[in-house]
């Protein structure tokens, strides 16, 4: 820490001293002491001026130093605030990153479940396609060619009954032939649908 500036003599005091020295030198003009007094007065005046300039410079430097200290304090405060802001932002960023990781993990888990379900559904579909059709209880599986033969026989019988005039038997045979015809058409339509589904797969 700088030492306080000593109290300087007033300019009037310095002027009085210089005047005294020069007047005294005039009184002793015939001796060497006069020259010494004049030199002393000159040195005193020079030193006084130098001391004044030095004091002014020192005061200016102290003012600049005080301003610099205030600026440095302000910078230090701002740096502290920025460090706290950076820490807060870093903490929030870490939280957001953690949440993002959790969301990604959850999405990957769900995607795995969806893929597994899709594979299971595809496997069941393949099994259904490859399995033979189920026959309802109380029904009998009959080949399509057998149904076609039976239909032809009913049609032949209906024609015979028509010739003999047996209308009741004719109608019964025609009804049976018509029923078999619908069954044959439905079976053919089902086979075509299965073929198209297999081709599409």
> Per-domain residue ranges for the chain?
11-102, 142-200
Phi, psi for 137 (deg, rounded to 5): -65, 135
User: What are the tens digits of pLDDT across the range 93-138?
Assistant: 999 999 988 988 999 999 899 889 888 888 888 887 776 666 666 5
3-class secondary-structure state, position 17: helix
The end-to-end CA distance of the chain, in Å, is: 94
Higher pLDDT, 4 or 168: 168
Q: Which pLDDT does position 164 carry in this prediction?
A: 86
Please give the pLDDT value at position 30: 60
Structure confidence at residue 4 (pLDDT): 46
Of 180, 195, 179, the residue nearest 146 (C-alpha): 180
Q: What is the pLDDT of residues 55-84, one digit of tens each?
A: 888 888 888 888 888 888 888 899 999 999
pLDDT reported for residue 150: 84
Give the span between the Cα atoms of 180 and 178, in whole angstroms. 5
d(CA 124, CA 130): 10
pLDDT, greater one: 147 or 84:
84
Nearest to 144 by CA among 199, 196, 181: 181
Instruction: Report percent pLDDT > 70 for the chain.
Output: 73
pLDDT at 186: 80
pLDDT of residue 1: 43
Return the H-helix or E-strand segment holding 72: helix 32-130
Tell me if 26 sits within 8 A of 34, measured CB to CB: yes
């Amino acid at each position: 820490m700088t030492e306080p500036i000593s109290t300087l003599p007033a300019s009037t005091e310095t002027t009085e001293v210089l005047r005294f020295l020069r007047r005294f030198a005039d009184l002793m003009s015939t001796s060497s002491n006069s020259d010494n007094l004049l030199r002393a007065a000159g040195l005193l005046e020079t030193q006084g001026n130098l001391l004044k300039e030095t004091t002014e410079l020192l005061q200016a430097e102290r003012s600049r130093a005080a301003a610099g200290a205030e600026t440095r304090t302000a910078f230090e405060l701002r740096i502290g605030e920025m460090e706290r802001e950076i820490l807060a932002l870093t903490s929030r960023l870490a939280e957001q990153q953690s949440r993002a990781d959790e969301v990604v993990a959850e999405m990957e888990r769900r995607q795995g479940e969806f893929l597994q379900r899709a594979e299971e559904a595809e496997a069941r579909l393949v099994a259904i396609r490859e399995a033979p059709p189920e026959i309802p209880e109380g029904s009998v599986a009959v080949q399509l060619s057998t149904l076609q033969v039976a239909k032809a026989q009913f049609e032949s019988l209906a024609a015979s009954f028509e010739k003999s005039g047996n209308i009741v038997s004719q109608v019964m045979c025609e009804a049976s032939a018509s029923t078999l015809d619908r069954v044959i058409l439905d079976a053919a339509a089902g086979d075509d649908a299965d073929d198209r589904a297999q081709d599409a797969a």
